Amino acid sequence: MTRPYNFSAGPAAIPTEVLEQAASEMLDWHGSGMGVMEMSHRGKEFLSIYEQAEADLRALLAVPANFKILFMQGGGLAENAIVPLNLSRAGAVDFVVTGSWSQKSQKEARRYAAEVNIVASAEDTGFTTLPDAASWTLSRGASYLHICSNETINGIEFHQLPDLKALGSDAPLVIDFSSHVASRPVDWSRVGLAFGGAQKNLGPAGLTLVVVREDLLGHALPACPSAFDYKTVADNQSMYNTPPTWGIYIAGLTFQWLKRQTEGSLTGVAAMEQRNIAKAELLYNAIDNSQLYVNKVAANCRSRMNIPFFLRDESRNDAFLAGAKERGLLQLKGHKSVGGMRASVYNAMPLAGVQALVGYMREFEQKHA
């Protein structure tokens, strides 16, 4: 069976090899007589799955030894509350607002932090640029600074994480990397905490990844639920409450798939970065060299993962989407808050899928020129 190309922003496509392996193990995992969804999270079978997944992820992302990897629940949206509950220390926190998700994050943080400061915003450009870090008005003594390093809806990405120390701040950097985790390496020397939902690049919805520096543990507000206290979760190896076992299992298979990927001499995440650059360049070039399509994001901060574009004649939107579906190009409708189209080209999207989309876009433009 030839599967369609799924450009959904999340829950998103999962590598076919991962789905096939999960299907083959659905009723009986490695001769245990149980499927993974039926296992005790404290049994030796699932603990072996968890331990392998944690080790593979640490290796893939080159996570330093002084960071804890937590497998949690609630998605990135819940982390907008869980982060200030753990890190705000009832003080001030800083936010850089670059799109819909960082806007949601700062609003949620106001429920828990004593003070929330917007140190920079791209709202005046319609979230089509990134504010220059040199212009940020950082707070003295902030408990942390939060950015969304890839804005899924607006299609903006920090291709380099800000160096807060160089900007004169000792605040830990918190990044929401939900929509580009494992698509490129992470400079952990600049990060205090990273979080992300798994449902874009790592597996199914229901699993949330948190990577947190050890010195940031143990400072949760008294109101923080014990199941969301990072220190409690870390001390119990993500088993304080029943974790999302199926999500961890599929993510673990995805980590193994990532480790097998190669591009020339590169492997793993480094290979994926080169592949993702090639996919994004192909699609952006098709948009930029078109008379029908337009992308409004400044070239220096265009997302490699989420590529929004608009038809200059929006009366043709429905026809474009209908034709795409006929060709097996799915989930291309843009987010309801911005309209237009959006192609999410996460790790599981092969170059052939982007080539098929570009071919259709050119065909549609010729037909409607």
Percentages helix, strand, coil for the chain (3-state, rounded to 5) are 40, 15, 45
Q: Give dist(CA 140, CA 120) in Å, integer.
A: 15
Pick the catalytic residue: 56, 176, 279, 333? Answer: 176
At residue 204, the 3 state secondary structure works out as coil
Pick the catalytic residue: 200, 231, 279, 333? Answer: 200
Which of 166, 208, 171 is CA-nearest to residue 192? 171
Query: Where on the phi/psi map is residue 159: left (φ > 0), alpha (ψ -120 to 50), or beta?
Result: alpha
- State residue 176 phi and psi, 5-degree precision: -90, 100
136 among known catalytic residues:
no
Dihedral angle computed from the Cα positions of residues 345, 350, 356 and 357, in that order, rounded to the nearest 10 degrees: 0
200 among known catalytic residues:
yes
187 among known catalytic residues:
no
Pick the catalytic residue: 56, 68, 101, 279? Answer: 101
Which of 161, 162, 164 is CA-nearest to residue 180? 161
Place of tokens 């149980």: 34
Supply the residues annotated as catalytic. Answer: 101, 176, 200
